[in-house]
């Protein structure tokens, strides 16, 4: 027995059938959207922070991080760059900027952090010549521009590809300038002999010094840095692009990474497809009645 092809007969679809179809599409989209908050789809596994090879700080040690998203860095601070020249932060933070608090003689995590940046900066979907800058800033007041210059040479060599010299600067400074910067960022560290206890984190600021994002650990995804820089661009990227990014991606503070809102996007596609299909049926039926 052969099955006859199924043909859609639009003239048999009454208002009740169209209404039922519309309600089904809406309920499906709502159910999908509601489940998004309970089951987010992560883009990457949680990056584990590297543990410093020192005893864990006590609760009263003063070491830690108080994220101050929305606060501003003081841009009048003066540091010395890798050439020994004095520079003000306002001269360098004139675009979205990644700031890495480190000390160059660190035997472990600071090296891993900057090596992680060196591996990923060439993959960021922004132009380092114009769209962003990176600042490694030593919080050890005893370190010198010569040491900063040697660190810069090491990490630029590790990148293995051309990168603008002015796009990644290595700074040293005086104690007062260092502490004003770290206090504004909520970054608390403590000296232990010749080493330090400190958080392992970078943060991203806008061109006016506003802190927009912290990224923890020593390994970074190109997408995480790209999205953080887009957030910091404050109008340099078109409004439509910013809205699309914030709709499709959101920051997961628990896993400390950006996640793709798969179910939200799927629900939108389902609703849009259902609406377009119903509009096709209604308009097609009206055209047929005119004949």
Rounded Cα–Cα distance for residues 183 and 189 (Å) = 10
Q: How many residues does the chain have?
A: 291
Model's pTM, two decimal places? 0.64
Picking from 102, 222, 226, 120, the residue whose alpha carbon sits closest to that of residue 169 is 102
CATH class of 64-236: alpha beta
Phi, psi of 251 (to 5 degrees): -85, 130
The token pair at 246 is: 């914030």
pLDDT at 27: 45
Q: Give the per-residue pLDDT at 9.
A: 38
Pairing of strands 133-138, 97-102: parallel
Question: How far is Cα of residue 225 from the mean position of the Cα atoms in its chain?
Answer: 5
Cα separation of 144 and 105, whole Å? 11
SS3 213: strand
pLDDT at 198 over 70: yes
- 48 three-class SS: coil
- For residue 192, what are its two tokens? 């232990």
Ranges of each domain in the chain: 18-39+263-290, 64-236
Q: How far is CA 261 from CA 28, 35, 116, in A?
A: 17, 11, 26
Convert the pLDDT of each residue in 47-97 to its tens digit. Answer: 334 444 434 444 445 899 999 999 999 999 999 999 999 999 999 999 999
Q: What digits encode the pLDDT tens for the residues 177-194?
A: 999 999 999 999 999 999
The answer for residues whose C-beta is within 8 angstroms of residue 116's C-beta and 6 or more apart is: 217, 218, 219, 220
Q: Compute CA 144 distance to the chain's CA centroid, rounded to the nearest angstrom.
A: 31
pLDDT, one tens digit per residue, over 118-171 is 999 999 988 999 999 999 999 999 999 999 999 999 999 999 889 999 999 999
């Amino acid at each position: 027995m052969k099955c006859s092809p199924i043909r859609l007969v639009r003239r048999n679809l009454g208002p009740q059938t169209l209404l039922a179809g519309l309600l089904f599409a809406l309920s499906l989209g709502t159910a999908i959207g509601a489940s998004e908050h309970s089951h987010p789809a992560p883009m990457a596994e949680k990056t584990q922070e590297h543990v410093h090879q020192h005893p864990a700080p006590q609760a009263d040690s003063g070491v830690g991080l108080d994220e101050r998203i929305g606060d501003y860095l003081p841009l009048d601070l003066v540091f010395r760059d890798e050439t020994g020249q004095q520079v003000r932060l306002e001269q360098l933070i004139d675009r979205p900027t990644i700031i890495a608090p480190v000390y160059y003689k660190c035997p472990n995590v600071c090296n891993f952090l900057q090596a992680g940046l060196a591996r990923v900066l060439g993959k960021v979907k922004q132009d380092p010549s114009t769209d962003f800058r990176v600042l490694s800033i030593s919080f050890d007041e005893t370190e010198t521009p010569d040491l900063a210059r040697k660190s810069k040479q090491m990490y630029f060599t590790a990148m293995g590809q051309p990168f603008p010299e002015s796009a990644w600067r290595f700074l040293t400074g005086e104690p007062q300038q260092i502490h004003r910067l770290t206090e504004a960022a909520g970054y608390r560290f403590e000296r232990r002999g010749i080493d330090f206890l400190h958080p392992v984190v970078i943060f991203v600021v806008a061109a006016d010094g506003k802190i927009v994002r912290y990224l923890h650990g020593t390994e970074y995804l190109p997408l995480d840095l790209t999205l953080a820089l887009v957030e910091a661009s404050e109008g340099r990227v078109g409004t439509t692009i910013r809205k699309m990014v914030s709709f499709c991606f959101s920051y997961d503070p628990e896993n400390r990474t950006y996640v793709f809102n798969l179910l939200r996007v799927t629900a939108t596609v389902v609703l849009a497809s259902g609406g377009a299909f119903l509009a096709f049926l209604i308009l097609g039926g009206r055209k047929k009645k005119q004949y």
